[in-house]
């Protein structure tokens, strides 16, 4: 009696699996096979964005990839990217295993969340960051202090180099981290502060855990129990543990030193909301893990991108000395030797145009964060089903990677 039941169960499982892995109708063209996601690994092209461009030349701007039961859609090119980014139904975020590790396995923060949690937390974060000086002249003093320290550091490096050559690795990123930390925690890092370097190392280590595409750990999270070192799980957790520990120490200090009704920085604002603000409502999205997620997301989104944009600025100026000379002449004419201010920008049209061109050409994020469909929709005529978050083992929705 047991054998027939086992046979029936086994056959049913096989049929169910075959149905799950079957390529659905109207699926975008792409490499064949049930693990065609492996096409994103190519030793001859380590940059995923460039690899996607090469694949799009063969299969078109919308590429379909599979990983057993999971589906991935990669889009590139102006028309396809515009179609996706203008579609409100494709503004969702996947349940990203690696990203959730930074917040104890929960979907928290603002980078990889959607729905009401994202809307409420983004509104709160943007409101208080603006109050603390983001995009305003009130943050200029902190930035100019970092600029002065950076200039002295560069002069010291050049002066101590017999050849005059310098290595600019993280030279620009560390000051950015210090400015972000001033807004988040109310203090600047002193020059050569080991905490700043440790935090930057953790942020970059976490953000570079994958090259922008699905990693083996993201595709098969259970492998962390079998091969935690090979899958990169241990490496990832070392960076996350150090980053969380640094932030938690400062949060604890803020709990002890803050004064109710007076907020010095973003952490104070959030702690105030946890004590007697919107966090008290039944359906509140505010929590300590959410606060941790937002802080980490701010560093992930702002540190390397800003630092490397400054690096591109220096590179492009070296390659275009005539532009550098014209920018310098305009700055000298307008500033007359004083420090710059945001209010000067309207009088520096050529400098502003140069900065915009640097940001256009210096692509620091060739891939967007992944998207998923919030409702059944399409992309250039291909069907994209609604994400089903209830099935974590075999999710059926497509994930979009945009380059």
> pLDDT truncated to tens, each residue of the chain (403 aa)?
566 666 666 665 555 555 455 666 788 898 988 888 888 888 788 888 888 889 999 999 999 888 877 888 889 888 988 998 899 998 899 888 888 999 999 999 999 999 999 999 999 999 998 888 876 777 888 899 999 988 888 888 888 878 777 777 778 888 999 999 999 998 888 777 888 888 888 888 888 775 556 788 888 888 899 999 998 899 999 999 999 999 999 999 999 998 888 888 999 999 999 987 655 566 788 999 999 999 999 998 888 888 889 999 999 999 999 999 999 999 999 999 899 988 899 999 999 999 999 999 988 888 888 888 898 888 888 888 887 654 443 344 456 666 5
d(CA 324, CA 316): 9
Contact status, residue 135 vs residue 304, Cβ threshold 8 Å = no
d(CA 178, CA 189): 5
Tokens 């083996």 appear where?
A: 216
The partner residues of 70 in beta bridges, in order of sequence, read 67
d(CA 385, CA 119): 23
Domains for the chain: give ranges and CATH numbers: 27-94+370-403 (3.30.43), 117-307 (1.10.630.10), 320-368 (no CATH)
d(CA 288, CA 351): 42
Whole-model pTM?
0.86
Q: Which of 209, 125, 135 is nearest to 179 (CA)?
A: 135
Angle 173-185/288-319 helices, nearest 10 degrees?
Answer: 150
């Amino acid at each position: 009696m047991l054998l027939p039941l086992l046979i029936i169960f086994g056959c049913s499982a096989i049929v169910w699996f075959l149905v799950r892995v079957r390529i659905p109708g109207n699926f975008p063209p792409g490499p064949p096979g049930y693990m065609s996601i492996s096409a994103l690994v190519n030793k001859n092209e380590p940059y995923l964005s460039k690899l996607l461009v090469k694949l799009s030349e063969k299969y078109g701007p919308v590429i379909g990839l599979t990983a057993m039961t999971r589906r991935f859609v990669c889009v590139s090119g102006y028309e396809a990217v515009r179609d996706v980014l203008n579609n409100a139904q494709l503004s969702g975020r996947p349940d990203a295993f690696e990203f959730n590790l930074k917040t104890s396995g929960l979907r928290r923060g603002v980078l990889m969340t959607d729905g009401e949690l994202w809307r409420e937390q983004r509104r709160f974060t943007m409101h208080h960051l603006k109050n603390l000086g983001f995009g305003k002249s009130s943050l200029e003093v902190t930035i100019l202090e970092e600029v002065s320290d950076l200039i002295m550091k560069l002069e010291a490096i050049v002066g101590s180099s017999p050849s005059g050559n310098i290595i600019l690795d993280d030279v620009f990123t560390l000051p950015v981290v210090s400015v972000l930390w001033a807004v988040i925690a109310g203090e600047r890092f002193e020059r050569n502060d080991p905490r700043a370097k440790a935090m930057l190392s953790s942020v970059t280590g976490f953000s570079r855990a994958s090259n922008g595409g699905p990693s083996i750990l993201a595709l098969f999270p259970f492998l962390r129990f079998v091969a935690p070192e090979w899958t990169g799980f241990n490496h990832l957790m070392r960076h996350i543990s150090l980053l969380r520990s640094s932030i938690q120490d400062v949060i604890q200090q803020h709990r002890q030193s803050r004064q109710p009704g007076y907020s010095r920085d973003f952490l104070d604002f959030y702690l105030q909301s946890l004590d007697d603000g919107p966090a008290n409502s039944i359906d509140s999205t505010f929590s300590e893990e959410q606060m941790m997620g937002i802080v980490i997301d701010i560093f992930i989104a702002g540190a390397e991108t800003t630092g490397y944009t400054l690096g591109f600025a220096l590179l492009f100026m070296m390659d275009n000395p005539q532009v550098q000379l014209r920018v310098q002449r305009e700055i000298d004419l307008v500033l007359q030797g004083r420090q710059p201010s945001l209010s000067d920008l309207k009088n520096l049209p050529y400098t502003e145009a140069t900065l915009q061109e640097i940001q256009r050409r210096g692509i620091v994020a060739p891939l967007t964060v992944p998207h998923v469909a919030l409702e059944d929709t399409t992309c250039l005529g291909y069907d994209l089903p609604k994400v089903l978050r209830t099935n974590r083992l075999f999710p059926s929705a497509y994930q979009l990677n945009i380059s």
